[in-house]
Structure 1
């Protein structure tokens, strides 16, 4: 059974005291506590979080005048539809970013818990960031109508910094949020107006059917010692051609994707099983607990032990 559009109150995480980031009660809809922010800021930042694993359908008609930058904070499974076109079906990893132009309707069906940061950006801010990045004004309105999911390590780090920031000083918290939000928008502007031009001169990305084969192979061999040649062979390509096309298709190197999938699998085992950390590390393809802990902390932000303890408290 699909749950209702409005996020149940029991699954809404309340905003921390002093935090300028509001929690959304409805997907992609900033709360009423943003009323004052609308007067002083042209970037509204809110967070949509749910812990319920039951399927939930959400719909949004699109902001009337603002672009929406969605930053996925944790791995989730969903079907995401943008302007009537399905952009994602299945697992979406942490760090994925998607941009929706004004008045573009979106919907999603979440099949697992989710945590998404939303930045609602005015035309004025887009113009100011463009001029700051390129040194001259943009001719006319800026419309970023390139809805595909993208991966950018810089955007991921900025989004994580914004998500974990807390301050007892509301004014200080607002300054930090505004600064990081502007950095995110500037990065989006730079990517949109430079990456598109560069991609026209590059070879095409890995076709979806080859990408699916590679992903299926990785998922089936997470506990084994596999190399680039193995993954490339599963897609029917040489290492050189596969690595470059995979990166253009996903925004990640094959090795980085493999590490992220292993960590995501490890999170599942830590949360759902009683295996100790060493057993989890070995079953996810790591040859030592030390290496596993190092990679886990780099990608998740805390050690496996601390993450498991917090996950247990949340449940």
Structure 2
């Protein structure tokens, strides 16, 4: 198999490519396969993986007219603000959380306007890959070509963890990294196939997820009050629901408890302040709703893997 895992710029965009694994392929444009794979066969048995990273904040519009034979799976590695159009219709406008997944079938045109920094994995799955995943999951071949036809954005914590694993796990051994990338790429596609073909049974057992318009209200409220004490009742009220109904619907929609989501947003805001301001760590903690520096440091390290001070030093050195 030949998997690629790279950061790829849109021509003319102010983006610095960064290598994630040992492969040499690059994505010339957003969601666009490298020229080496432009005539990709529906019978290709590997998953091609690429990464779209944009660090600047000026709006950028991108368009893709649809891949001829592969499904494209987009997996957000961090929160981002964007407008996304699928098949000529607006699918969403607002902020997506890390772990959000969107699947586009072959030959479907898509476009987006990114209004913030963004970090997304794109996985290109051939019909052969989908068929093999289906047969492995259900122990029987699928009768026809598999079309993952639901384009709506969903969040799956398992897919979030798999995507993050692709980004951070590097051994220095090119052959081992290649095998790991292929294995995790197949695991992501298999999870997507399983979600589609078990969706009807799952929906019958579970209640409704929080609608996107209510989610947008929640995101706007949380972002506007990050420095304040926010309770579950406050977040639920912003969505127009009681605490009981809100918590269950929010978790179905995002895979997160409201408190966990709030902590993630506070840490993401803290990273922005640490990188783009001269505030000391204590002031950043207060600006992000933490009432003590030790608590802030503990939560920051749980999400980021380093203390705020060490993370800031390394981030500044990398610039």
Q: Normalization by structure 1: what TM-score?
A: 0.87
Question: How far apart, CA to CA, are the structure 1 residues paired with 2:314 and 2:162?
Answer: 23
- Whether 1:305 aligns to 2:304 is no
Deviations 1:145-189 (A, max 9, x none): 111221111111110111223344322221111111111111112
Question: How far apart, CA to CA, are the structure 2 residues paired with 1:40 and 1:83?
Answer: 25
Question: How far apart, CA to CA, are the structure 2 residues paired with 1:223 and 1:80?
Answer: 29
SS of equivalent to 2:226: coil
Partner of 1:194: 198
Partner of 2:28: 25
In structure 2, do the counterparts of structure 1 residues 132 and 215 end up closer, same or farther at CA, with 3 Å as the change threshold? same
Question: How far apart, CA to CA, are the structure 2 residues paired with 1:289 and 1:61?
Answer: 49
In structure 2, do the counterparts of structure 1 residues 221 and 27 end up closer, same or farther at CA, with 3 Å as the change threshold? same
**Unmatched segments (≥5 aa) in structure 1:** none
Question: How far apart, CA to CA, are the structure 1 residues paired with 2:37 and 2:308?
Answer: 35
**What does residue range 1-315 of structure 1 map to in structure 2 within 5 Å?**
6-8=10-12, 11-15=15-19, 19-20=22-23, 22-32=25-35, 41-315=45-319
Give the Å deviation of 1:46.
1.0
Q: Are 1:19 and 1:167, in contact at CA under 8 Å, matched by a contact in 2? A: no
Aligned length: 310
SS of equivalent to 1:11: coil
Question: How far apart, CA to CA, are the structure 2 residues paired with 1:309 and 1:93?
Answer: 26
Question: How far apart, CA to CA, are the structure 2 residues paired with 1:183 and 1:264?
Answer: 27
**Unmatched segments (≥5 aa) in structure 2:** 1-8
In structure 2, do the counterparts of structure 1 residues 112 and 34 end up closer, same or farther at CA, with 3 Å as the change threshold? same
Deviates more, 1:301-310 or 1:62-71: 301-310
Give the Å deviation of 1:55.
1.9
